[in-house]
Amino acid sequence: MSSNDVYAKQGFGATLEPVAPFGLLIIDLVNGFADPEVFGGGNIPQAIEKTQELLAIAREKNWPVAHTRIVFADDQSDNNIFSIKVPSMLTLLEDAEISHIVPELTPVAGELVVRKTVPSAFFGTSLAAWLTQRGVQTLVVAGAVTSGCVRASVVDAMQLGFRPLVVSDCVGDRAIDPHNANLFDMKQKYAYVATLEETKALLD
């Protein structure tokens, strides 16, 4: 029996249709995650390229757009369990080039930039309130990495009552196996998962 068959037999994978209004969340597409010598690799460069088109669509449609960055204090006063587990995260400081959003996706006026020190874009931040104030029901998600901050943010979005729509070729991971496994799992339990072309067709 295939994985799909097992999940279907147990009642997973029901349809979660996107419902307007839409918002866009771009997670941690910063220079450090674009660089395979720092936190990048895998299919993250392709995700960044595709996300440029997705961001252009969101701006054209006047969606609320939020970006996230991992930013730790210069004095490491906010060192936490995440940074104990991955000490190199402490290099993502406010003024460090590796913590800056990639130039291709530079935020514009009116777009929220969320600073966080844990995987989820929602934990300990104002993001949920910001999206709710703007009436967002379906949260379109792009970013890195699929198995980490993307997944954590998608799970929290679902728990907070948003409908996550994960754009599968606008999210990336430093390794393909965890990318694919987490897309499968999010599709089964937490989100609507579609390619950029499929997402564009939905919006049309």
> What mean pLDDT comes out for the span 91-112?
98
Supply the pLDDT for residue 1: 72
Q: What does each C-alpha distance from 126 to 82, 84, 137, 152, 171 come to in angstroms?
A: 20, 24, 16, 16, 23
Amino acid identity, position 18: P
Could you count the other beta carbons within 10 Å of the beta carbon of residue 23? Answer: 25
- pTM score: 0.97
Going by pLDDT thresholds of 50, 70 and 90, the confidence category of residue 103 is very high
Q: What is the pLDDT of residue 42?
A: 97
- The per-residue DSSP string of 72-132 comes to B-TT-TT--HHHHHSGGGGG-BTT-GGGSBPGGG---TT-EEEEESSS-SSTTSSHHHHHH
Give all domains of the chain, ordered by start, each with its CATH number. Answer: 20-203 (3.40.50.850)
pLDDT of the residue at 110: 97
* Residue 53: per-residue pLDDT: 98
Q: Both ends of the chain: CA-CA distance in Å?
A: 36
What is the total residue count of the chain? 204
**Residue 82: what pLDDT?**
97
Tens digits of residue pLDDT in 58-97: 999 999 999 999 999 999 999 999 999 999 999 999 999 9
Any idea which residues carry the catalytic annotation? 149
